[in-house]
Structure 1
Amino acid sequence: MAEPVTPTVRVQTEDFDVSAEVAKLTEGRTDVGAIVTFTGLCRDEGGALSALELEHYPGMAEAEISRIAAEAVQRWPLTGLLAIHRYGLMRPGDNIVLVAAASSHRQAAFEAASFVMDFLKTEAPFWKREHHANGEPGAWVDAKEMDDEARARWSR
């Protein structure tokens, strides 16, 4: 029987390097046949935004992402799982979130990464505020119904 996987979860202001994170996730492992990564970036919304500000509930954000990741490693035969979420002020093109799932086979990695993102978007305590390119104060971004619909496909 395979050793249980302990997911790595980080909430940080610092940027991350996707290649370096994947290398750490697979270092010394010969049982990895697939790695699926999702990287979420800050967009400019057609030039309307100069930045996106992300706030979180310290401690609770890490705990909730850890809970979601722990559920993923119970549901799929993973060899590694990583979730990084940044907070602070992000400029268009900046990394915001990284989820990397490693498994012996691709389907488990795809499903686990998708599961983590769907629940992270709807359950982790993060708030987004837009900063407009024209200098006007931005609004806090409401949750999207499509994120709830994506999460609903993972019946528990």
Structure 2
Amino acid sequence: MALDERTRHALHTKLLEVLGTASAEVLMEELARMPDDVARAGDIAAVRGDLETLRGDLETLRGDTNRGLDTLRGDLTSGLGALRGEMNNEVGALRSGMDHGFQVLRTEMEAMEHRLTAVFRGELVAAVTSQTRTIVFALLASQVTLAGLIVAASRILRSG
């Protein structure tokens, strides 16, 4: 209960009569220092009750938060597992595609090698055939020339 000035003055007068001047002054001075909102036992009990309610609410909130975090952790774990599976599938598909592409490339390169080898062999055979023909004709011409020289030499030797 708040003290107004009139009540304080009446109390001071009564204290002067009962306690005397010195004691009344000390008591009034102490009363002046006390704030108007002094807590009483009932107020403290109410605050304790409020604190207990808040503590319960905080524990409930903490439990809800932990459950939410556990749910989130589970969702993240399963999501990451699904993502890992998808990535493994995609990487596997990429590897398979690359393996197929490399196999096609190898096949094309082998076919090109065979074509180039065939062309080279054909050109080599043509060159060797041409050279062989030239050598055969040259040898034939030299044999004919040699035969002609022998015939001419034998005629010269018979005539002479």
Q: Do both share a fold (TM > 0.5)?
A: no
Structure ranking higher in helix proportion? 2
Query: Which structure would you say has the larger RCO, counting Cα contacts within 8 Å and 6 or more residues apart?
Result: 1
Name the TM-score, length of structure 2 as normaliser. Answer: 0.14
Structure ranking higher in strand proportion? 1
Name the TM-score, length of structure 1 as normaliser. Answer: 0.14
Work out which of the two has the higher radius of gyration on C-alpha atoms and give 1 or 2. Answer: 2
